[in-house]
Amino acid sequence: MKPPILRLLILVAIGGLSVGVASAGMARTEIENAIPMSSRELLGLVSKKGANVQVVDVRVLADDDDDVGGYQDARVPGSLPMPGCDPDKVPEQALGRVRADIPTVLVSRDGDAATFERCRKHFLRVRNLEGGMAAWSEAGLPEEDGPYVAPKPGAGGGCL
Amino acid sequence: MTRFERFAYATVVVALLVAWFGLARGNDALRSRAPSAQVAGGAR
């Protein structure tokens, strides 16, 4: 076979393989997004110093009628408020902190799949907290309450 | 085509094949943990 033709064939093969690798990579992200995260797994993740993950809480800010409550009643430490998955409802203190490009864990009241499906469009890589805030509280894991307070600059990336 | 060129092409092709098969196997393992992804991903 003539070298130019051979070279062309090899380049076509490399191109095809590259497309295959890229599509497998994208499929992996999709699959990872569909796997719910357990409360313990999330605790391990947010406890790590400098963990590249954000926790976004989509519950209402306050709910006195519900035993789980709202964001300000009890939440995963360091989580960011985004009531109703609406970027326009993010409180002023947290504005600009909820980012689409950071791996995200979504916290709803009880990990409802419909809520997760509705919210996932706002993030590139996002997983659902299995059982939501109800499961987190039931497991007796650390909680925070009160309005969101932005961390001081240089205070570190860990949530706990 | 020089020997170096052949070696370079072969290395790239093998690396891509390994990456592809590695990702495919990893994806299959992950799919078993994500029931909803089986529908979306068309798992066996």
- ipTM (interface pTM): 0.74
pLDDT band at B1 (very low <50, low <70, confident <90, very high): confident
Average pLDDT over residues B3-8: 90
Residue recorded with tokens 């990579």: A25
Q: Tell if the CB–CB gap between A34 and B24 is shorter than 8 Å.
A: no
Q: What is the mean pLDDT of each run of 10 residues along chain A (160 residues)?
A: 84 95 92 90 88 92 80 92 91 89 94 91 92 94 90 59
Helix axes A3-34, B3-31, angle to 10 degrees: 20
- The pTM score is 0.75
Nearest-10 Cα torsion for B34, A97, A71, A35: 0
Those residues of chain A whose CB sits closer than 8 Å to some CB in chain B are 3, 6-7, 10, 13-14, 17-18, 20-21, 24-25, 27-28, 30-32, 34-35, 113
